[in-house]
Structure 1
Amino acid sequence: MIKKRYLMYISQNYSYAILRPLQAVIRAQGGEVYWFLDGNEVNAQFLKVDEQRLFSIDAINSWKPDAVFVPANLVPNFISGLKVAVFHGFAAGKLNNRGRLDHFEIRGCFDLYCTQGPNTTQPFEALAIKHKYFSVKETGWPMLDPLFTLAVDNPYIVPSDTRRTLLMCSTFSRKLSCAPHLFSLISHLAAKGNWRILVQFHPKMSSEIVNQYKGIISDNLTFVETDNVIPLLQAADVMLCDTSSILEIFLLLRKPVVTFRNRTNAAYLLNVETEEQVESTIEHALTYPPKLMTSIEAFCQQLHPYNDGKSSERVLAATNALIDNPDRERVRKPYNLIRMLKLRRKLGYWKLKCWR
């Protein structure tokens, strides 16, 4: 039996954690995995010693992957293999520069979308009917396979410290980020020392803000830079956030989130508009109010109802079903000339081969 080949195509450090559970399943089933790192925002030092890397488009096309897994919006059509979207986060209600929900923007790159739950599956199924060149399969999200299993060596859990743990996360967008507005408050809370505070920002956060928060590191506050946020989420009792989709992952642990100027008006969030409201709302969240927890549960069933740790298996099964059915009826993907020219320029690849 010929082993199937799978390429992990990534451009951000957080993509390692998204795709490694899938890599583990592929290896367990006898498949081969290589990684391709696109751009300078992904750090090769996060690759593990047993993870293999391809360094060029020519190398990818010589290896000829059967499928390419992409936790991003774009992937070149000039590399071989079925293109599979596995998403870099949840649909957090963010609008793109055209005023449309970015999570559901179709960019003409993928053969298969592996969706996370009913609230993403239904919109993508409607889009599949409209566009006709891609398939949709609800699988759950590979990144979350380890979420419900607590590692014994979690570095952010300190049994000797009995204080409750607050995790602050923030997106990088100046318009949406809570980090610039809440620095003074977080500095004050860290000085009080009532809670243990963990801080983790989107990797695109400005260095100025990052350095501000690093400047208040203490026994009460830890600033974390990591390619895997799951141990942080598991260690916290409550989250303080804005619109970052990481808050939705945290909710799947059935823990409350306090948001700063979130515009969704969602019943499963405790939203505040001013800095003065934050501390008391966190205290309220730590009581796990029943009405809030009921709303969180209902939301989780729509967002990601799978807690069996087998989303990666479902993604691989859906992918293999398409690989093993090469004669399936389908409409060809668009040529995507402008996007592909930009990717060719970025990657320095000008050969005319187009795998689509």
Structure 2
Amino acid sequence: MSGHDYLLYGSERYALPILQPMADALLRQGHRVHAWFVEGAAGLSLPAPVRDIGLREAVALRPRAVFSASNEVPGFVSGAKVQLFHGFNVQKRDDARGHFRIRGLFDLYCTQGPATTRPFRELQQRLGHFAVVETGWPKLDPLFRDDGGQAARMRAAADGRPVVLSGSTFTERLSAAPHLLPVIADEIARGRFYWLLTLHPKCPPALFDSYRVLAGANACFVEPEQLVTAERAADVLVADTSSIVSEMLAQAKPVVTFRNRAPKPHMLDFTDPAALPAMLDQAFAPDEALRARISAYADEIHPYRDGLSSERVIEATEALLAGRLGALKRKPLAAAWRNLQIRHALGYWGPGA
């Protein structure tokens, strides 16, 4: 039988739009693709022919590689462990606790652009137990490929009006959603723009309810799995310290941020909810200086606009398996302890890799 077995791993609902482009690329190359979803992603699935499997099937599969859209990956499953990341580095936490935390679980980090590649390569040179290849982020592949008209269909309800995407992180101290709800509701009622409303999957159910009821002639609610299509369809983003900010900026689109933890010149940041209408006016008429800052930032975080990041991840994984990325040092002792914790969390004490 031609092709290899590959495993996609996710622990939260947001893993699906990251892993789907990987599944598509692997299937195009004639491989067999399996998905294992746990914790917050348990019960979810990717469309056939991807096979959804459980813990013991994942162990028995002995995949060639495991592609993870989580901070972790079970060490007792065979294959190269490849980190795809579940978001951009938006500085929600300091580097040691956030995006650049090394847990000793991965063999390969597939970075999104120079802004993440440089720090990970410095860590690679110091630690030596993983490789780093800049590939771009699979989640963004659909932003830069033919989407079969999905974004155009989502925009159709706007009836020619500008389109605003509103999103928010789940971190309570950083979330804009509760603060901006009244003014967004007022803007939707005015009908100047058409709104695409979404929230991080881990936001409270009551907040989801509050935003869902705003749907109507001037707005619709977008489920997390439709987020990439919404990003493609929208002209401007309203958010906070969510990684969706970087996803929009990667398309060179203006973003309005509410109390961003680390506001930058390429953002239009504000602190008073009442200022939102004026900030939107500015976003829809950006000056040349702002456009230049956005473009420069997009090149730093994700310069790949060919929709082929998933293919580069596969190529990098093959290079790792063939030894072309150099020999890796042994994983640190802390990794063994973390793997024991993962076994305990998953309730598995059988044999493994």
Would you say same fold, with TM above 0.5?
yes
Residue type matched to 1:305 in 2?
Answer: P
- 1:153 — aligned with what? 150
- Note if contact 1:93-1:101 (Cα within 8 Å) is conserved in structure 2: no
Deviation readout 1:135-158 (Å, 9 max, x if unpaired): 000111111112123531334111
Change (3 A) 1:330 1:69: same
Q: 1:312 & 1:136 partners in 2: Cα distance? A: 15
Please report how far the alpha carbon of residue 337 of structure 1 lies from its aligned counterpart in structure 2 after TM superposition.
4.0
Aligned residue in 1 for 2:340: 341
Over aligned residue pairs, what C-alpha RMSD do you find? 1.9
Q: How far apart in 2 are the matches of 1:288 and 1:150?
A: 27
Tell me which of 202, 207, 210 is aligned to 2:208: 210
AA in 2 matched with 1:290:
E
Identity value in percent: 38
Q: Does 1:127 align with 2:123?
A: yes
> How far 1:279 moved relative to its partner?
0.9
Q: Does residue 108 of structure 1 match 2:104? A: yes
User: Within 2, Cα distance between the matches of 1:226 and 1:262?
Assistant: 21
Looking at structure 1, the residues matched to 175 and 44 of structure 2 have their Cα atoms a distance apart, in angstroms, of 28
Greater alpha carbon shift after TM alignment, 43-52 vs 183-192:
43-52
Among 242, 245, 249, the residue aligned to 1:247:
245
1:103 Cα deviation from its structure 2 partner: 0.6
Q: As a proportion of its length, which structure holds more helix? A: 2
Which amino acid in structure 2 is aligned with residue 209 of structure 1? L
**Which residue matches 1:77?**
75
Question: Equivalents in 1 of 2:238, 2:292: separation in Å?
Answer: 19
Equivalences for 1:172-321 in 2 at 5 Å? 172-321=170-319
* 1:316-347 residue CA offsets vs partner (Å, 9 max, x unmatched): 01101112239953211124244223311221
Partner of 1:25: 25
TM-aligned CA deviation for residue 87 of structure 1: 0.6
Q: Report the TM-score when normalising by structure 2.
A: 0.94
Change in CA separation of 1:295 and 1:328 when aligned onto 2, cut-off 3 Å: closer
Secondary structure at the residue paired with 1:7?
A: strand
Cα deviation, 1:290-333, whole Å, max 9, x if unaligned, reads: 11110000001111111111111111011011122399532111
Counterpart of 1:53?
A: 52
Q: State the one-letter code of the partner of 1:84.
A: V
Corresponding position of 1:15: 15
Q: 1:160 to 1:213 in 2, by over 3 A?
A: closer
Aligned partners of 1:43 and 1:226: how far apart in 2?
15
Query: For residues 287 and 333 of structure 1, do their structure 2 counterparts lie closer, same or farther at Cα, with a shift above 3 Å needed?
Result: same
In 2, Cα distance between the equivalents of 1:321 and 1:182? 47
- Which deviations, in whole Å up to 9, do the C-alpha atoms of 1:184-236 show, x marking residues without a partner? 11111111111111111100001121111223322112122131311101111
Structure 1 counterpart of 2:134, from 129, 134, 138: 138
1:43 CA drift (Å)? 5.5
Any idea what the Cα deviations from partners look like across 1:250-274, whole Å, max 9, x if unmatched?
Answer: 1121110000001323111000011
Deviation by residue 1:25-60 (Cα, 9 ceiling, x = unmatched): 222222221111112x2254542132212212x222
> Are residues 265 and 153 of structure 1, via their aligned partners in 2, closer, same or farther at CA, if it must alter by over 3 Å?
closer
Per-residue CA distance 1:119-141 (angstroms, 9 max, x = gap):
10000000001111000001111
Structure 1: state its 5+ residue gaps: none
Q: CA, structure 1 residues 103+223, in 2 after alignment: closer, same or farther (shift >3 Å)? A: same
CA 1:159/1:177 → structure 2, altered by over 3 Å: closer, same or farther? closer
User: How many equivalent pairs are there?
Assistant: 350
Classify the secondary structure of the residue corresponding to 1:293: helix
Q: Distance in 1 between matches of 2:132 and 2:53?
A: 28
